[in-house]
């Protein structure tokens, strides 16, 4: 009998410059964000969230887009700019969420209400991960790394918008353990079963979530630490980074963890190669 059940859901899509995902070590932020004269054809990638059933409670990893991005389930430029609160962010990443596909809508179809979620774990506060936070205002805990929150406050003029979480009761946590590439992690239950591991680079407080059973088998969700298997297999860093050397060290750790024989599966938020499915171990 398995102790952990993880349901991967796609909550719509995001359209970005390919360099944002796979720009590599020498890609400029302007190129990755699409602010250059010569632009590459944009690509659509899934926006994934993960429902994690554990002996200690029900977790949701990231929240995806809010319904306000696509009120009628179709691409809607005007609605997106309003939902994101920024024309600049709309330029960098557009989104669409078909009807019934937001995280809360899919969970409702499974009989799960926001208040049933014990912990919403936010990998980082970029729009395609935190724009949908208000769907889960009634969750018991909304976990955000304190270092990520502070980083977002410093860069809210362009990259982050406090409106996505304003008025919500965020649980801001400091590191209490030493897992990961920088020996900074948060042991959620105090038993090593769920570790929120700092993998800085894309943002300062970005965390991977590692779910480990009593036999040492584990599942790893690394958010935007990479944009899918291609990132860690070919060691390609993303184009938008607050610290490229930290990002590369984090990606090396993701590669090491993903190739470990105890790893049941590792996933990014935007891995185009992975379809919605269920993992049990």
d(CA 238, CA 216) in angstroms, rounded, equals: 30
**Residue 138's domain spans which residues?**
5-273
Is 279 part of a structural domain of the chain? no
For residue 186, the model assigns a pLDDT of 98
- CA distance linking residue 161 with residue 155, whole number of Å: 9
Measured CA to CA in angstroms, residue 194 lies from 76, 134, 140, 147, 178 at distances of 37, 24, 17, 19, 13
The pLDDT value given to residue 1? 64
Give the pLDDT score at 97: 98
* Nearest partner of 171 among 128, 122, 114, 112, judged by Cα: 122
Residue 106: inside a domain: yes
Residue at 280 is within a domain: no
Q: Measuring CA to CA, how many Å separate 42 from each of 34, 75, 90, 175?
A: 9, 15, 13, 37
Residue 230 located in a structural domain: yes
Sign of CA dihedral 98, 103, 105, 109: positive
| pLDDT value, residue 4 | 98
CATH number at residue 125: 3.60.15.10
Query: Residue-wise pLDDT tens for the chain (281 aa)?
Result: 689 999 999 999 999 999 999 999 999 999 999 999 788 899 999 999 999 999 999 999 999 999 999 999 999 999 999 999 999 999 999 999 999 999 999 999 999 999 999 999 999 999 999 999 999 999 999 999 999 999 999 999 889 999 999 999 999 999 999 999 999 999 999 999 999 999 999 999 999 999 999 999 999 999 999 999 999 999 999 999 999 999 999 999 999 999 999 999 999 999 999 999 999 99
Q: Which of 115, 118, 174, 130 is nearest to 150 (CA)?
A: 174
**Chain centroid to CA 175:** 19
Give residue 94's pLDDT: 96
What is the end-to-end Cα distance of the chain in Å, rounded? 8
Task: Count how many domains the chain has.
Answer: 1
Does the residue 281 lie in any domain?
A: no
In a domain, 278, yes or no: no
| DSSP characters over 246-268 | HHHHHHHHHHHHHHSTTEEEEE-
pTM value is 0.97
Whether residue 228 is contained in a domain is answered as yes
């Amino acid at each position: 009998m398995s102790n952990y059940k993880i349901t991967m859901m796609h909550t719509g899509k995001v359209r970005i410059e390919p360099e944002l995902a796979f720009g590599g070590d020498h890609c400029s932020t302007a190129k990755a964000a699409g602010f250059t004269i010569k632009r590459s054809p944009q690509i659509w990638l899934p926006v994934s969230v993960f429902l994690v059933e554990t002996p200690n409670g029900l977790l949701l990893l990231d929240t995806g887009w809010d319904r306000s991005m696509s009120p009628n389930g179709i691409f809607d430029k005007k609605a997106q700019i309003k939902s994101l609160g920024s024309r600049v962010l709309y330029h960098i990443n557009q989104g669409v969420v078909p009807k019934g596909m937001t995280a809360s809508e899919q969970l409702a179809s499974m009989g799960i209400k926001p208040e049933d979620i014990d912990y919403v774990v936010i990998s980082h506060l970029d729009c395609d991960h935190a724009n949908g936070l208000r769907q889960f205002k009634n969750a018991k805990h909304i976990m955000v790394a304190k270092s990520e929150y502070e980083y977002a406050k410093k860069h809210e003029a362009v990259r982050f918008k406090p409106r996505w979480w304003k008025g919500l009761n965020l649980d801001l946590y400091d590191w209490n353990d030493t897992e990961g590439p920088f020996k900074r992690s948060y042991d959620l239950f105090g038993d090593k079963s769920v570790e929120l591991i700092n993998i800085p680079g894309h943002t300062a407080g970005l965390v991977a979530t590692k779910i480990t059973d009593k036999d040492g088998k584990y599942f790893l969700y690394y958010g935007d630490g990479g944009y899918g298997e291609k990132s860690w297999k070919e060691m390609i860093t993303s184009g938008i980074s607050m610290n490229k050397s930290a990002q590369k060290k984090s990606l090396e750790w993701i590669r090491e963890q993903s190739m470990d024989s105890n790893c049941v599966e590792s996933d990014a938020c935007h891995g185009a190669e992975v379809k919605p499915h269920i993992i049990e171990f």
